[in-house]
Structure 1
Amino acid sequence: MKFSAVACLSALAAPGLSASIGVSKLHDFMPATGSLKVPGESPAEFCHVDRDGDLVQVQLLSTDPNPVKAGKQVSVKATLDIKRAVTKGSYVKVVIKYGLIQLISTTADLCEQVSNAGIKCPIEAGKHQISFQADMPSIIPPGTYNVFADAYGEDDEHLTCMRATVNFPRPGELGLEL
């Protein structure tokens, strides 16, 4: 599965797919209000109300299906306005929590991660339509997952930040195909 690509595109189009480790305050990982909703059909929300300084402006982010489902392929489409090229050395901080339990907290090379989705660095400045598909694992423990992705350029300038909450129901609960 190309989960890291999903998380990292979320970092570009969400980095969260999109809390910043050591950079943001803990309150940045608290639930967002409706005004932070990323345009499109996805569970993604922006991390901050003021995004004017972000070098990657996410104009649309959609996942199909929405919400994503265990064992199914997910298609991700994003429309981005990139103010300055995203180059090697750019990175994304990703935190994944299962309820309140932190499962993953890592910093990854952004170019390496997006290459898993067939996207090559540098990503030049300008408007971009990005799309890719990833297979979700068939076995995902039921529960609520919080994904946070915060992306930075090679010079530590902020690219974008996004987060999402995804629920995988127990077998037999509404919303799960058997």
Structure 2
Amino acid sequence: MFGALKYSAWFTALFVLISANALIWKSPPQATCKLDSCGTSNDKVKDVHVTYSPHPPQVNKNVTIFFSGNLVEEVDKGEMSFKVTFNSYEVDRTLNLCHVLADANLTCPLHPGPFKFAYTVPVPPIVPRGKYGAVANATDENQNALFCLKGLCSVY
């Protein structure tokens, strides 16, 4: 959920970039993660529920993010912005919402009502220990908030 599968390369680039400054241990890293909605009552997607599997994510394996909610009005287009942090490093990216959702087999326009999707992304083979944060905000064509998701992982 923190990026489209074809855009996961920039997540990988972040990990590679910071691995030169990170301490990598010989034993596989362990992780604790939390993924939540950070939206408000004004968001156009209500009843947001987000989970992921496996718990915890594993190095060099896929993690699938499951998202569900109830869209209250039609959305023709929009943007999805991502912010990923690792210790003092930060990467921001804004993408076309319809392109991101197309990778999860959803098409624009999005019609009102309940919806759900699953999104799978690879976890890189090398994950430096530290604290990772991510925020994903989706807005419609008028910059009205659709939803917000935030995640925090501690890799130790």
Q: Fold conserved (TM > 0.5)? A: yes
* CA pair 3-129 structure 1, distance change in 2 beyond 3 A: closer
1:94 aligned partner: 82
* CA pair 91-54 structure 1, distance change in 2 beyond 3 A: same
Q: Distance in 1 between matches of 2:155 and 2:75?
A: 33
* CA pair 111-58 structure 1, distance change in 2 beyond 3 A: farther
1:84 CA drift (Å): 1.4
1:3 CA drift (Å): 5.9
Instruction: Say which of 17, 28, 35 aligns to 1:44.
Output: 35
What is the CA deviation profile of residues 120-168 of structure 1, one whole-angstrom value per residue up to 9, with x for unaligned ones?
2222110012123332222222221110111110111111112110123
Q: Indicate the SS of the match to 1:4.
A: coil
Q: Indicate the SS of the match to 2:101.
A: helix
* CA pair 153-3 structure 1, distance change in 2 beyond 3 A: closer
Please report the TM-score for the alignment, with normalisation by the length of structure 2: 0.72
Letter in 2 for 1:5: A
Q: Indicate the SS of the match to 1:43.
A: strand
Q: Greater shift after overlay, 79-88 or 132-141?
A: 132-141
More strand by share: 2
Q: Distance in 2 between matches of 1:138 and 1:58?
A: 34
1:4 aligned partner: 3
Q: Which runs of 5+ in 2 are unaligned?
A: 8-32
Q: Indicate the SS of the match to 2:4.
A: helix
1:69 CA drift (Å): 2.2
CA contact (8 A) 1:43 1:67 kept: no
**Paired residue total:** 130
Pairs within 5 Å for 1:1-178: 4-5=3-4, 43-47=34-38, 51-88=40-77, 90-102=78-90, 104-169=91-156
Q: Indicate the SS of the match to 1:53.
A: coil
| Max Rg structure | 2
CA RMSD of aligned residues (A): 2.3
Q: Which runs of 5+ in 1 are unaligned?
A: 9-41, 170-178
Letter in 1 for 2:100: Q
